Structure 1
């Protein structure tokens, strides 16, 4: 055992020593952000990318920030080139991810100076120019994720939610005539067949916007498209834009989710972080397969989002859109308002559930135990009744044995006297005497055999044994054949096949069950004969096997059992006879089902009753 432990320890040391040799080299990504640090729009894209990278620990990313509107200045470019050169001395990158157009333009311009073989994956741009990429000689290295702003859809949303709209203000970063794509917002509006006025207010400073829209205008609204600069060289900060948007007294809709909780009504929003997720997944594909083809894809993930506070303030109905949507800034729910109490309840709830489950289990177990106790008592009663029945049969057997013993002595005496008379007769009388003596001896032997058979039949079985069903039935019928004969009943025993049908059980008790059924049939047939309904009775016993089962069907022409009595005939002490004791069929069912593991039931045929017994074959 010690040798195995030593060998295992040595193997562990070897694996620990050589594992760094087999570790995969990390893949490095350089993210170049067009905007300053904490600029929310680009920060959400980078956050989405990094969340994808977290699930792929072999990928590591560095982020370099540019300076927004000053990004295109030569001085800023030189500082940026110096920063990247320093990083390149220490790190080799496998992929460059420029965020938005400023960083993308920088990478195209200085790729030959700063990089070698790295592929480029842009993110967040609205347009891609193949001509520009070819001019830089980098088209074969470029992949990207484009974003689109649902301007047309949001104008349609505004018109649906404000049917009486008379004027729509467009707050965007570009000129009033042209978006970066070259497609004017006015051209989009013209395709919608609307009659409201449009005014562009992207050239107003934040304080001018706040002053102009400080009073309510019921039939006016504003569409917010990217707006960060105003009349200044530096970008507005997000909190400054959010403050002004929240103070405006007209509803402001937006094309992305950036300020959804900070002053805008909402709309069909581009999910900014989802652009990062898509970019991160494409980056993993390119890194894991260097020969993967370049792809320019468009992120089309949108969601209808509305600010509950602004919806209520301006009395708007997003349900008119027939679109699924979600609210932000909803009222605090009762559960949220009383969170500490709810949390406390949830802490106690498992204990309460366990207590309830314990009580339910305890009640269930008590019910089950009571059920088992009742079943045991019932079984005990059945067993006691079986023992009592056996005891009664034993007593009858002993009494009958005494009678048989007393009966046999006279029979022996009769046989002796007959034979003695034969020997003392004269020669002339011997011939006639022989015939009388033979007749007397035959009757004596018959009476002796009958007494012996009945004595065996009446004695209860002490243990189970394997016996032939057909033989047992024939023996039982032989004992009562005179009774059957003098009641004008024809008995037919029909056994199918020549195979012996053997069962394991109590033979004498089994014959008793059949005797009960046959006697009941005999009594019922007698009633019908007395009423003149039939001339002769008929009892048919069919015996056959099916797979591992033996089936015995006993039918008669006694008229059957009434429907109301049929379900109760096996109940203890239930009888249909004036002087019946109601124990015969109950004991029959007890012997067949409880003691021999079989099944018995009764049914009606067109001419009478039929008792069917199923027993397991012992062969």
Structure 2
């Protein structure tokens, strides 16, 4: 008896397992509408794998007719049509079928699970509100307007006009609501024209008149125009496409192959794939309540190769792994399997041959390659003119090139195993040792500069570029250093600086002449006075002493002038902190009288009057820059001033800032032509017939390259302001 019962149960389960599953697919639209057809084809393709699924498909045809009486009559028809049918699952496609199910589920399809797809503006609260949360789930359809706007703006950076074509269907209104905020965000970038209220002939005229170079169309939907005339999706788009000479983008994949470029498209195939997968789960016994709704629409980037090529649009920089339709098949694509199999066979055969020979040839090849590489590296390093060395983490030299041997005047064997202290001064070696320790901690790179004297007493200016290197096992090997000998460049710059000083010699000699004019007049008067006293026998010892004292005062003053002149010509050897006021006073001693006799007032304005302002740099070179700028201002005023006895001014403003001190040289001798003001610091640029064009260039070299500051010039009405900013501490 028990065997009979067991057999009965197994037989019942066998019959139940093979009982056909009835599925009803309700489309909102009509057969022949590409969107509905693609969903149907995808569902049918996926159901074809299961012989026990029977699919029934009906079409509501609401694109053509959509009023309450029609829907009520349709419900009556379905009630009669499916009176004696028991469905295991219902699938509804698009919003009208979705809404229909809310109204008639209890009366027509009570307790039957429902899957939806292609639903616009889906809100899961709708299921609870309509009492369907235990019976319904599915796949939302959502056009991604934001991403498509972003894509169009990237693919067409020069876009001026975007025409959006839509209709007044329920879907069209829903999209219009979503479009409004996006249009507001993009209307500053390009002109956006939205139309859903044109008679079709007027729309074609508008499309045909679009600017070919800078216009794009976004085609949303068009099933009816303002006259109520109905079009199929292909008819409307085809007529727009015929008169358009600009790229057309879309939101749905059913316009592909008819002339849209593409975009991030809502795909009927993707909708069908997703809802088919859910249907199989339900038919296999999974409770529909356990299947969450797919609220993120499975949209795809799809493009038509022909349209991309026609409008020369390159999407490679903006879209990863897009689907390209109509792309010409290459030989490789047509015979991919053949090529893969062939390559696999060749690879396997090659591997076998290599393995057979590897044991014999491997060591020999490795040894030869290693020897060649070592020899190549040796020649390469020794060919480089820059001194190069590398050392271990203890600071001992492991190797170097020929240029480094020449620099320290030792052979490689004498260098290896020693440290920087054996070849460089203590201060230089100590500083570099500290830099090396910091590099080994941070695994970074370093650039530093030092000066030292070689064994032949030759001064060298060197820039060190260092980096940490690792061994093949990942451990730290040590430090590599490439040295850059900048001695010659520094000497050339110093020569140009001295040359620019000599270019100022004429003005300097004129300044000395002005400085000596009064002392010489005074000395002349003293000599004449003592001569007169002698001739009149009135000369006394006290007169001689006074004469000598007065004469020495004038001679010392003249001697100081020469001393200042000599100090100016002498180049500064190293950076130091020096006083701005002292440098300005010395410049004033040299050219102050010349400025005065040129009927020019020169003012020194210290914002921080009770504070001694310092600069870190080269004092004499700084004075050279000041002299050049003040002389230029003086000469410009002398050339441009009128005969109205106006007093012209040169104001020198000095103030302290957080990390630097600022010196402004301001003159009212007329502005610099705006066409050339940006060129005045270029080498050999001059507007004077006898000018050299190196004065302001060397001023820029001194301030910016040598002293790490900035120098600039600007016009302020009829005045010119030169601004110098220099650090007040070591940088």
TM-score by length of 1: 0.48
Higher relative contact order (CA 8 A, sep 6+): 1
TM-score by length of 2: 0.41
Question: Which has the larger Rg?
Answer: 1
